[in-house]
């Protein structure tokens, strides 16, 4: 019991400490530590490497602290996610961490949880209701901005394909806006011409492949840069370019998530860059915040997230640009990725 109590305190301190690094706000914990905490976690998919890593990070936090968790995977289906969250709520969880497949549809999940007296933390993707208790995320606008900045720094002029993520995912709005703002001066001057701008439903590489193939056909392969919204879609873009004998690095291709295959493509020179954010930090912060909430204590935040007149508290972590020049330092030296995985 004493060992478990110490672990609980450490997790609570993690949540407060991470927030304190960015806000400087002093909100001391109140009350004692609750025994028998159970945290429900709903993730959208395991089809992408980064969500596999998130799941593993949550499981590691649970194992190290002895806190019970129940994880459900929605397989990119909003209806399935709602049903799974209903099940988690019925299990008597203390807090729900939800990475929504659809940020609007998940509003019902928050309402159901609150009716049961359960606070909800939106994980990596916002749930669009002012009743949300906390949003833990990476800076999505900055992620997009890093993509656009790389394009501007490495491509003087040319035709651009601008791909965006799933339209049901609210993170796609700041992500796309960040990229668009970074390249806007080039677009306004005429140096860049956006020849295709399109959403990629479910962030599905198969959909991204079809879109890129159509863009190449419509423009007689006259494409010099592609804003791909994540590494999965970037891989599809490279596949389409390879089919036309164009995957030689001459076409700038962005990405995010720092997946193993993306780093391999960066080493090969077929993908130009990706964006790194350490999901271990994000999962740890969400987990720690959940424990703090389960104990009836106030969680620090970095201020307010606001979109379309809806606002709620958020805790934000910064991303970093990854290229051939710094991937070893950011990913290998930090222990985030095993060098053997790149062999």
CATH of the domain at 171: 3.40.50.2300
Specify if 323 maps to a domain.
no
Q: What is the mean pLDDT of the chain?
A: 90
Per-residue tokens: 34: 């609750």
For the stretch 204-233, pLDDT in tens is 999 999 999 999 999 999 999 999 999 999
Q: Within this chain, do residues 157 and 248 fall inside the same structural domain, yes or no? A: yes
Q: Within this chain, do residues 282 and 134 fall inside the same structural domain, yes or no? A: yes
H-only helix segments in the chain: 2-23, 49-65, 78-90, 107-115, 140-154, 172-189, 205-218, 231-243, 260-268, 279-294, 327
Buried b (16+ CB within 10 A) or exposed e, 31-58: eebeeebbbbbbbbbeebbbbebbbebb
For the stretch 89-112, pLDDT in tens is 999 999 999 999 999 999 999 999
Specify if 270 maps to a domain.
no
Specify if 269 maps to a domain.
no
Backbone angles phi, psi at 301, to 5 degrees: -145, 175
Backbone Cα Rg of the chain? 21
Q: Within this chain, do residues 51 and 115 fall inside the same structural domain, yes or no? A: yes
For the stretch 3-56, pLDDT in tens is 333 333 344 444 444 433 333 323 333 334 677 999 999 999 999 889 999 999
Q: Within this chain, do residues 159 and 118 fall inside the same structural domain, yes or no? A: no
Q: Within this chain, do residues 11 and 132 fall inside the same structural domain, yes or no? A: yes
Residue bearing the bigger pLDDT, 273 or 168: 273
- Find the range with the poorest average confidence among 9-18, 185-194, 332-341: 9-18
Specify if 341 maps to a domain.
no
| CA–CA separation, 336 and 332 (whole Å) | 6
Contact yes or no for 138/280 (Cβ under 8 A): no
Which residues are within 8 A (CB) of 285 and not within 5 positions of it... i.e. 6 or more apart?
14, 15, 18, 19, 136, 315, 317
Distance of CA 191 to the CA centre of its chain: 31
- pLDDT category of residue 341 using cuts at 50, 70 and 90: very high
Specify if 47 maps to a domain.
yes
Burial of 250 (0-12, 13-18, 19+ CB in 10 A): exposed
- DSSP letters spanning 104-168: TTTHHHHHHHHHTT--EEEESS--S-TT--EEEEE-HHHHHHHHHHHHHHH-SSEEEEEEE--TT
Which pLDDT value is given to residue 33?
A: 65
Q: Within this chain, do residues 188 and 218 fall inside the same structural domain, yes or no? A: yes
Which pLDDT value is given to residue 170?
A: 85
Q: Within this chain, do residues 176 and 298 fall inside the same structural domain, yes or no? A: no
3-state secondary structure of 103: coil
Contact yes or no for 254/273 (Cβ under 8 A): yes
Specify if 298 maps to a domain.
yes
For the stretch 247-299, pLDDT in tens is 999 999 999 999 999 999 999 999 999 999 999 999 999 999 999 999 999 99
Q: Within this chain, do residues 282 and 233 fall inside the same structural domain, yes or no? A: no
Burial of 342 (0-12, 13-18, 19+ CB in 10 A): middle
| CA–CA separation, 262 and 237 (whole Å) | 12
Range of the domain at 199: 140-256
Specify if 310 maps to a domain.
yes
Q: How many CB atoms lie within 10 A of CB 130?
A: 10
| CA–CA separation, 39 and 44 (whole Å) | 17
Q: How many domains is the chain partitioned into structurally? A: 2
Contact yes or no for 133/127 (Cβ under 8 A): no
Q: Which residue's structure tokens are 């004998």?
A: 245
Q: Within this chain, do residues 24 and 146 fall inside the same structural domain, yes or no? A: no
Specify if 326 maps to a domain.
no
Residue bearing the bigger pLDDT, 25 or 166: 166
Output the furthest CA–CA distance in the chain (Å, rounded). 68
Q: Within this chain, do residues 206 and 144 fall inside the same structural domain, yes or no? A: yes
Q: Within this chain, do residues 152 and 125 fall inside the same structural domain, yes or no? A: no
Backbone angles phi, psi at 154, to 5 degrees: -120, 0
pTM above 0.75, yes or no: yes
Q: Within this chain, do residues 44 and 161 fall inside the same structural domain, yes or no? A: no
């Amino acid at each position: 019991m004493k060992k478990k109590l110490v672990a609980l305190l450490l997790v609570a301190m993690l949540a407060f400490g991470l927030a304190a690094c960015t806000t400087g706000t002093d909100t001391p914990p109140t009350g004692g530590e609750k025994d028998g905490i159970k945290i429900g976690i709903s993730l959208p998919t395991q089809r992408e490497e980064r969500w596999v890593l998130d799941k593993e990070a949550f499981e590691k936090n649970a194992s190290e602290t002895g806190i019970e968790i129940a994880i459900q995977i929605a397989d990119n289906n909003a209806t399935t996610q709602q049903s799974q969250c209903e099940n988690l709520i019925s299990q008597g969880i203390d807090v729900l961490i939800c990475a929504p497949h659809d940020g609007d549809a998940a509003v019902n999940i928050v309402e159901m949880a609150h009716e049961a007296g359960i606070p909800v933390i939106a994980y990596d993707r916002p749930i669009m209701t002012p009743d949300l208790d906390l949003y833990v995320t990476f800076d999505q606008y900055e992620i997009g901005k890093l993509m656009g900045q790389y394009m501007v720094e490495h491509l003087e002029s040319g035709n651009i394909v601008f791909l965006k993520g799933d339209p049901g995912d609210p993170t796609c709005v700041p992500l796309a806006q960040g990229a668009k703002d970074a390249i806007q001066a080039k677009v306004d001057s005429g140096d860049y011409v956006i020849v295709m701008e399109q959403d990629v439903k479910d962030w599905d590489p198969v959909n991204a492949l079809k879109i890129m193939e159509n863009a190449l056909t419509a423009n007689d392969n006259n494409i010099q840069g592609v804003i791909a919204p994540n590494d999965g879609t970037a891989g599809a873009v490279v596949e389409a370019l390879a089919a036309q004998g164009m995957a030689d690095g001459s076409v700038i291709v962005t990405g995010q998530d720092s997946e193993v295959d993306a780093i391999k493509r960066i080493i090969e020179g077929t993908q130009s860059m990706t964006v790194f954010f350490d999901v271990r930090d994000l999962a740890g912060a969400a987990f720690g915040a959940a424990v703090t909430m389960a104990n009836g204590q106030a969680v620090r935040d970095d201020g307010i997230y606001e979109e379309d007149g809806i606002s709620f508290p958020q805790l934000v972590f910064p991303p970093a640009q990854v290229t051939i020049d710094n991937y070893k330092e950011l990913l290998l030296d930090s222990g985030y990725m095993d060098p053997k995985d790149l062999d």
